[in-house]
Structure 1
């Protein structure tokens, strides 16, 4: 979800409102002195998204509502929330005549999560009761409040969900919850989906294999085929328009003959390689059969020994039990290997037959082209020209068909990778559900923790954070340990820089993973006496690079540091006259008061 436009509406003729505040694609900066009203504007973004905000009395009295237009997956909708003690949000969707009205955060959160493509599961409260996440529990990952936001990596207005920070990160990056209240039901559903994905993967593999067979084993890209087609079409056009068509025709025929001879050589090499593989498979199969015979002789010897009463005096003595079990396992393993070799041999023989058929066709085409080269005799020049045009046309048709096959192969391979990722995600979810609260089997969590640790170190360096260990550990709940110290042990400039590093590291990683539910990071004014201007400038510059390389937005307010807006950036400045200084909110001229 991206931010498009914000507007604060006045209450009555003398109420306070804002201009139409349009968000930048990259960085939106609010630059103004203390008391200019930056914080109410920043608060209004979160407020319109359902976040609980406590406005001062003058805002409550002078402003009526906040409207925020957002976009998600090319769909635009406007959220208008009324400034009052009661929860009241109206959502207007483009193409819909009637707005949707919400009177509590729970229903609105369910709606917005659904619109953003998130599917929250029932979680567990601190009192072991079922609950669902709210916008007020999720948004603090991307919104840093001026008052308490710079004291922690996650500072929600309330914490009622068990391991709430970890659960919100899991929700954002698409990983199963740690404390699902309905784990068993969802485990069954995930396993059912996994079985379906397995079937899709096998079918896709088989389809790709058949398409690759149609491509005659040529390992060429769509771009290369497109380039070949362009050359062939150009050559055909030149031949048609040439004044010396006979010589040009001979040249084209000779070039096509060389191309087909090269292709024949490559195909012949591929056939020899496949035949060599088949021979190797047969040798391995023979060695395995010898091993099976040896095992059989050993088993016969065991039976003979066990029949001697001096060695095994009592029936069922068990002396050779382990040997018998080992024989059975080894025999089964070797026979499975022979089955695999037989399958591979059969598949390679099919490919040899297909390549041999293609080779015979190439030989016929080469012979036909050679027979049409210009010879002395009546009508020979015309025959050569017609043959060249015909050969070029066939080559174009052949390349076009192969291009379509390769395009389909690339499309299927892309879908195949998506299916593998989906299977991996389902397997991770199943591991999490089966492992319960202490589970750390999901490889995605391990990868995220490792990447998060590296990003934190990078951002600490960007902010020139001193006296903080780079020996960082991220635990299974995404809490960070700096050597032997926790974040709560820091204060002043060190705490501010570290919190900024944690927030930026998470956001960069979140965006780079392709997560699109939230695509913005909002910083209310940090205490700039705790951070040097050059370090904060380096911090914003790095965020700008993230915005340029990804679909991401940064919104921040500042009193001292003024960012030099570049392409894709916007600076919001206070434009209303105040008693002592310009303000972001004020009386709007020609205000239309609702009747």
Structure 2
């Protein structure tokens, strides 16, 4: 933002006005005696930018509005704010009214994004969401005549945003906020998602276990089943096309019996593995129970030792504390192992019962098919043919049913895995949101440069008693050696505040080409500073303003800056009240 001009409009009856006051490209100086109206002019600038100002009664009575012309991103705007209203601010573009605002909240939503400032909702002191307000940002760029030189940051209203000063510096510098309400809201949303995913994973695992329990999937897969179905279908087709019905039918019986015997061998092998696992688990469980008994005996012995006063004469002496703690941990670990073994054994036993039942069914099917084949030798070909087709069709149906269940299991396994992956992603997201607030390398550099530049500005102001060992804490407040601002008085405090604001302003200008690009001083403590010190300070600010396309505005009574190219001086031009005045 570039300030172009300011004009005070009068009330229709006995009004006070000002001429059009054009800002300098670099320096704008208001030079006049005390009580000539410098402060109302300075205040009118920030008043037009939405800052709350309590004007004297005569200003409200005689002046209608302040008109501030600015340039934002190459576009010219006029901000018109009435003095007689708590908040009535009109924005014009090309002499056409484009907005009229009746509260600071709405105006802040317009002006701050237009200047390139982020609009993250912040957390208030009452833990409610709030967008940034322009009145909270401006004190970084404006030093009030009375309070502005007593603190590094002094807003017009009370602090309503949590960590307001560091939040506003972060906003002005383009760093993410400390307390983003949207991020906290996102954390709550992620936690709710995690809770839902945890329940979904439990339900999915139960469904998967039930589906696996309904079918023996050991050693079977979709490709195996498809291969068997294709073979049976070919046998069925061959059976339909053969001329030697009886011979082909007997061959089909042989194929079915062979397939069942292969399945039987797999089931028996699985049974043996499960029996071995169950036996091993029971054996391990007995060993663990023996260890628990041994631990219990050791603890009883330890209890007996505690009762011997010769060994531990002081109550709660703590001699056996480590042993007791070790006993508790070991006992808990062993009991957890027994629980895990019991769960594993129960699962294996359930699988063994299923294998035994399946083995019985397969053995019965083999016996029945063998008997039917033996009887089929003496039967007529057509009866044998029908019987063979029926057996093959039944086998195909069973395999297709098993394939359907395997597909369901596969789909459920995929769902279960996806739920776990989604939970892992949300856990990582939650951890990133709740991560440590270690400063980034960019932030460390910003604070280090701010400290270095503040020390340089203290040199410029010839601050003799202030340490140059400057550190900037996490709230962007300087620590000068081992001292903070509150211990300084008079000239030292004024120099410290001036040095800090110049250093911070320089840092902000180096980070962005947008935002507020002015620094306003309402009568810097001239009575507390040497003229030469203040002049060196303003000369260096002039160089920064010229190099960085920024503006410096200040009012003064005793010190007078020597204007050069790019500077403007506003002098009072109305000869009322026995001295020139800015309004008349």
Give the TM interval when normalised to the shorter protein. 0.5 to 0.7
| Aligned counterpart for 2:559 among listed residues 554, 558, 561 | 561
State the partner residue of 1:81.
81
Equivalent residue for 2:23? 23
Q: Distance in 2 between matches of 1:15 and 1:582?
A: 17
Determine helix, strand or coil for the equivalent of 1:179. Answer: coil
Residue 455 (1) aligns with residue 459 (2): no
Would the alpha carbon gap of residues 74 and 437 (structure 1) be closer, same or farther in structure 2, given more than 3 Å must change?
A: farther
State the alpha-carbon separation in 2 of the partners of residues 84 and 438 from structure 1: 49
Counterpart CA distance in 2 for 1:434 and 1:172 is 24
Question: Structure 1 residue 519: deviation in Å?
Answer: 0.7
Call closer, same or farther: CA 1:138–1:155 in 2, change over 3 Å: same
Distance change in 2, residues 1:21/1:433 (3 Å) = farther
Q: Does 1:109 align with 2:117?
A: no
1:250-329 residue pairs with structure 2 within 5 A? none
Tell me, which stretches of 5 or more residues in structure 1 are unaligned?
A: 190-429, 587-595
Maintained 8 Å contact 1:522/1:555: yes
- Secondary structure of 1:149's counterpart equals coil
Matches within 5 A, 1:415-426: none
Q: Does residue 510 of structure 1 match 2:488?
A: no
CA separation of 1:515/1:155 partners in 2, compared to 1, >3 Å: closer, same or farther? farther
Task: Give the structure 2 partner of residue 129 of structure 1.
Answer: 128
TM-score, normalised with respect to structure 2: 0.57
C-alpha distance 460-118 of structure 1, shift in aligned 2 (>3 A): same
Please name the residue that 1:166 is paired with. 166
Structure of greater Rg? 2
**Over aligned residues, Cα RMSD in angstroms?**
2.2
The equivalent of 1:580 in structure 2 is 578
Where does residue 152 of structure 2 map in the other structure?
153
Tell me the number of residue pairs that the alignment of Structure 1 and Structure 2 aligns.
346
Judged with a 3 Å threshold, the aligned counterparts in structure 2 of structure 1 residues 446 and 435 are, in CA distance, closer, same or farther, namely farther
CA separation in 2, counterparts of 1:433 and 1:133? 27
- State the distance in 1 between where 2:431 and 2:10 align: 50
Residue 50 of structure 1 corresponds to which residue in structure 2?
50
Distance 1:433 1:22 in 2: 53
How far is 1:436 from its partner?
4.9
3-state SS, counterpart of residue 547 of structure 1: helix
Q: Distance in 2 between matches of 1:528 and 1:85?
A: 34
What is the SS of the residue equivalent to 1:525?
coil
Q: Determine the structure 1 residue equivalent to 2:140.
A: 141
- Ranges of 4+ aligned residues in structure 1 off by more than 4 Å: 184-189, 430-433, 435-438
Aligned to 1:119: 118
Deviation at 1:466, TM superposition (A): 1.5
Shift in CA distance, 441/500, structure 1 to aligned 2, threshold 3 Å = closer
The CA deviation at 1:484 is 1.1
Quick one: distance in 2 between partners of 1:585 and 1:47? 16
User: SS of the counterpart of 1:536?
Assistant: helix
Match of 1:271 in 2: none
User: 1: CA distance between counterparts of 2:567 and 2:431?
Assistant: 44
SS in 2 for 1:150: coil
How far apart are the structure 2 equivalents of 1:464 and 1:174?
32
Q: Is contact 1:519-1:553 (8 Å) kept?
A: yes
List per-residue Cα deviations over 1:327-348 (Å, max 9, x = no partner): xxxxxxxxxxxxxxxxxxxxxx
2:440 to 434, 439, 442: 442
| Secondary structure in structure 1 of the residue aligned to 2:479 | strand
For residue 476 of structure 2, what is the aligned residue in structure 1?
478
1:543-593 deviation digits (Å, cap 9, x = unpaired): 01101211100000000011110000000000011121000000xxxxxxx
Aligned mates of 1:25, 1:137 — CA distance in 2 = 26
Residues 498-547 of structure 1, C-alpha deviations (whole Å, 9 max, x = no match): 10000100001111223421110000002211000000000000001101
User: Residue 185 of structure 1: CA displacement?
Assistant: 6.5
Moved more, 117-126 or 569-578: 117-126
Q: Determine the C-alpha separation between the residues in 1 that align with 2:53 and 2:476.
A: 27
Partner of 1:197: none
How far 1:25 moved relative to its partner?
A: 0.3
Give 1:470 shift: 1.1
Superposition map of 1:138-537 within 5 A: 138-157=137-156, 158-183=158-183, 434=432, 436=434, 439-537=437-535
Distance 1:468-1:86 versus aligned 2 partners, 3 A rule: same
Q: Is the 8 A contact 1:179 1:436 kept in 2?
A: no
- Post-superposition shift, 1:29? 0.2
CA distance in structure 1 between the aligned counterparts of 2:145 and 2:547, rounded to whole angstroms: 28
SS of the residue 2:449 aligns to: helix
> Where in structure 2 are there 5+ consecutive unaligned residues?
190-427
Spell out the pairing of 1:60-79 with structure 2 (5 A cutoff). 60-79=60-79
